Structure 1
Amino acid sequence: MKNSLPKFSRAIVLASTLLAFGHAQAGHHEGDKKMAKESHKMMKQDIVDTAVAAGSFNTLAAALTEAGLIDTLKGDGPFTVFAPTDDAFAKIPADQLKAIMADKELLTSILTYHVVSGKVMASDVVKLSSATTLQGSDVTVNTDDGVMINNAKVIKTDIKTSNGVIHVIDTVLVP
């Protein structure tokens, strides 16, 4: 009986340790599940909703609305969007931007020049020298000093959405 008590005590300590470890691991997995759920929730947002939620693409959202392209970029895709920020649009003189926004055909041409069919991640972009846009013309890709799309610097990459990917650029592309 003397020897069975220490074995029994060791068994209790071992069982307690395993239970505590299992509980800690369950908590860790719950955290992983929560993070995966939040990530999945973000992935449920399409290109338009993701851009609007970011808060730095208000001019782009207004332009997409004016051009009637919201439904297109909420579609199945996949699309790759080189999204100019509000600061990028601010580089265009106000009267010129107003004229562009008023000319639906020109606006549509400019906006579709920012979109490539398919999901092109940053790791893919750096392997390209050009890409054909939905507008029909090609954009030039240069990776000599960071990533440039024509004369626009890519300032943030791989914002994943439910129907594609957004790469943020600092200048509005003009076909």
Structure 2
Amino acid sequence: MKFRLVLSALLALFMVAPVAADDHKSGKTIVEIAASNDDFSTLVAAVKAAGLAETLSGKGPFTVFAPTNAAFAALPAGTVESLLKPENKQKLVDILTYHVVSGKVMSADLAGKTIDAKTVEGGTLAIDATSGVSVNDATVTTADIAASNGVIHVIDQVLLPN
């Protein structure tokens, strides 16, 4: 159950786009917010292929570090296409859940800190908010997109678990 919730959160992050501050009041989930933004079409496709949409639409709360289409496009040629194949589903699930942290972590909670955050995948993200916000080697380009079941932070790279 927890795994499915994390996957759902990840889907939402990948499908997120800058939205109005009151979207969380409208009841939109992470997945609904992401699906409404064309900049996350690759993330949304990946979340669907991984079977994580339902999980990331669940109660949560989740914090999703969502890569944009440009972040996916920066991967080596053929990587996304390969990950979307049914035989690579577990690898895709691992990558997507590596972008999700349980709980709702807003940028104000991180300001001036460096922390290690455990992901739903089981790995650890190095978050540095001492000068801007970075997650591993990715930069948060848009923070605090509130959803009814968590928050999305847009990042400029796809994070890969060890």
Q: Which TM class, normalised by the smaller chain length?
A: 0.7 to 0.9
Tell me the CA shift for residue 96 of structure 1.
1.8
Residue correspondence of structure 1 range 121-136 to structure 2 within 5 A: 121-126=106-111, 127-136=113-122
TM-score computed with the length of structure 2 as normaliser: 0.80
Q: Is 1:113–1:134's contact at 8 Å kept on the other side of the alignment?
A: yes
Residue correspondence of structure 1 range 1-175 to structure 2 within 5 A: 39=22, 43-102=26-85, 103-126=88-111, 127-175=113-161
In structure 2, relative to structure 1, the CA distance for the partners of 1:43 and 1:159 (3 Å cut) is farther
SS at match of 2:108: helix
**Paired residue type of 1:46:** T
Tell me the CA shift for residue 128 of structure 1.
4.1
Count matched residues. Answer: 138
Query: Larger relative CO (CA 8 A, sep 6+): 1 or 2?
Result: 2
How far, CA to CA, are the matches of 2:74 and 2:109 in structure 1?
Answer: 29
TM-score computed with the length of structure 1 as normaliser: 0.74
Any gaps of 5 or more consecutive residues in structure 2?
Answer: 1-20
In structure 2, relative to structure 1, the CA distance for the partners of 1:58 and 1:40 (3 Å cut) is closer
How far, CA to CA, are the matches of 2:129 and 2:34 in structure 1?
Answer: 25
Any gaps of 5 or more consecutive residues in structure 1?
Answer: 1-37
How far, CA to CA, are the matches of 1:55 and 1:125 in structure 2?
Answer: 28
In structure 2, relative to structure 1, the CA distance for the partners of 1:101 and 1:41 (3 Å cut) is same
How far, CA to CA, are the matches of 1:95 and 1:60 in structure 2?
Answer: 15
Deviating above 4 A after TM superposition, structure 1's stretches of 4 or more consecutive aligned residues are none
Q: Is 2:142–2:154's contact at 8 Å kept on the other side of the alignment?
A: yes
**Paired residue type of 1:48:** V
Q: Is 1:43–1:160's contact at 8 Å kept on the other side of the alignment?
A: no
How far, CA to CA, are the matches of 1:43 and 1:154 in structure 2?
Answer: 25
